[in-house]
Amino acid sequence: MFQNLSDRFEGIFSGLTRKGVLKEADVDEVLREIRLALLEADVNIEVVKELQNNIKQACVGQKVHEALNPAQQVIKIVNAELTAILGGASFDLKYSSLGPTVVLMAGLQGSGKTTTSAKLAKWFKSQGRNPLLVGADLQRPAAVEQLKTLGTQIDVPVFSDPSDPVSVARLAIAEANSTGRDVVIVDTAGRLAIDEVLMEEVSQISKAVTPNYTFLVVDAMTGQDAVTVASAFHDKLSLDGVVLTKLDGDARGGAALSVKNIVGKPIAFAATGEKLEDFELFHPDRMASRILGMGDVLTLIEKAEQTFDKDEAEQAAQKMLEGQFNLNDFLEQMQQIKKMGPLSGLIGMMPGLPKEVKDADVDDSQIGRIEAIIYSMTSEERENPDLIDTSRKARIARGSGSNPNQVAALLDQFKQMRKMMKRFGGMGTKKSKKSKKAKKGGKKGGRVTPKGGRVTPKGTKPSTNAGLTLPGLANVNPADMEKLADQLPDLD
């Protein structure tokens, strides 16, 4: 969602030159560019003005820290101000000590309210709670059935009644008390636009159940309209927070940057995909970091912790460093990575990646094609890829719907990756140190790799750049990988 804004910020900061002190003229130029970038991202004009003033006050006359250049100093200030605009701290959700914690979900039709209710229930389950979903949307055909289907997928009961929305909500609280459910999530009806009937119905439900939290579900793709909707609902319901959906879309992101300042209520949760597990607590500091192109390591670690078994991951890492990593292990790791979400999203969380890598069109179906090739191998071939000769490559290609060059490309890159990992595992050992000493005894200052010319043997070896590569290695020259692997023992 914030890719365009992130690119703009990257261009702005790269234009700063070395200065001991940030002068007002320098800051004005940067602020002008930041203002244009935010307006293009559909951020509310009042929010832009406030952010601009805050950054200027923090920048002018401030001495650059010894370890930071002016660009880094401005990034630090902008990061702090963006974090504040997005809400400052993550939403602090507290549970009721008397009876179930009641959460009322409101929003316009089409904002993803019913699906978000199920996602929230799944999130509560992950926190060790026992939620109950309540189908109080009796207006939309099959809304209750949709909620029941989603409830079945996450193993959460759904309560509803054909009477009226207010009675359903009231009866649901009694149902939760009798069945020991400690969280009640009430899914209310939406409309295509804000109207008095919708507002009155939601208001009556709120009075009937006295919710601990009232969340407004807002489609992030609606831009400035999201702020208008939030303001209208807040005037009637007194919102506690906003849940942004479709945060993985290609909208400009203005809603996320505007809603907290205009409505005065924080973004509590964010839906980052279509799957029920694509839902997370909103962290303003992490989102600001992503917008500025600095990645989001903490969220990446949390996703990995939820997906990977710690012991299995350690065993796989050990095998990789010892050079015993085979295609069965590789296949298992790829399947675990798929569970973490789209590759493009994971790449966006990684700090320090070149712009070319971040902007690359990552095709998740590439993993499926790689899996097909590996599944077409025998168990013996997966254990020992060195067994795969030309005839076996042809057989594997036929079985996987690929061609022999693609199979060869995959095997070559896998072997080079394994070789590199083994070299990393050997660094710092006695063997590696001996290797260094032996090289020091020879001609000083010599090249490790041959100067120019061919680095691979002549012959009719089939091309390995046939369009199928390991994720993230599409533009890497196999010869460069091999040279890098050969140099690894010389690293300190």
Would you give per-residue pLDDT tens digits along the chain (492 residues)?
566 777 777 777 766 655 556 666 777 888 888 888 888 877 888 888 888 888 888 776 555 555 556 667 777 888 888 888 888 888 989 999 888 999 999 988 888 899 999 999 999 999 999 999 999 988 887 889 999 999 999 999 999 988 899 999 999 999 999 999 999 999 998 877 777 888 888 889 999 999 999 998 988 777 777 778 888 888 888 889 999 888 776 666 677 778 888 788 888 998 888 889 889 888 888 888 777 766 555 666 666 666 666 676 667 666 666 667 788 888 887 777 777 666 666 666 565 555 555 555 556 677 788 889 999 999 999 888 889 999 999 999 999 998 999 999 888 888 887 777 666 555 544 444 444 444 444 444 444 444 444 444 444 444 444 445 554 445 545 555 555 445 444 433
Residue 185 and residue 121 in contact, taking contact as beta carbons nearer than 8 Å: yes
Instruction: Using alpha carbons, select from 8, 219, 29 the residue that is nearest to residue 116.
Output: 219
pLDDT value, residue 166: 92
pLDDT value, residue 367: 78
Range(s) within the chain of domains with CATH label 1.20.120.140: 3-86
- For the full predicted model, state whether its pTM sits above 0.85: no
What is the CATH number that goes with domain 3-86?
A: 1.20.120.140
> What is the Cα–Cα distance from 474 to 429, expressed in whole angstroms?
32
Residues in Cβ contact with 361 at an 8 Å cutoff, skipping those fewer than 6 apart: none
CA distances from 314 to 305, 319, 442 (A): 12, 9, 38
> What is the Cα–Cα distance from 426 to 322, expressed in whole angstroms?
8
Residue 118 and residue 132 in contact, taking contact as beta carbons nearer than 8 Å: no
CA distances from 91 to 107, 127, 186, 281 (A): 19, 15, 20, 7
Give residue for tokens 């910020």: 9
Tally of residues, the chain: 492
Residue 217: alpha-carbon gap to chain centroid: 20
Instruction: Using alpha carbons, select from 107, 380, 81, 372 the residue that is nearest to residue 230.
Output: 107
> What is the Cα–Cα distance from 236 to 203, expressed in whole angstroms?
7
What is the enclosing helix (H) or strand (E) of 481? Answer: helix 478-487
> What is the Cα–Cα distance from 163 to 102, expressed in whole angstroms?
20
pLDDT value, residue 442: 47
> What is the Cα–Cα distance from 216 to 275, expressed in whole angstroms?
20
Does domain 101-282 bear CATH number 3.40.50.2300? no
- CATH for 305-434+462-490, among 1.25.10.10, 3.40.50.300, 1.10.260.30, 1.10.3860.10? 1.10.260.30
Range(s) within the chain of domains with CATH label 3.40.50.300: 101-282
Question: 8: which 2 tokens?
Answer: 């703009």
Question: 20: which 2 tokens?
Answer: 């001991």
- Strand 279-281 versus strand 267-271 pairing type: antiparallel
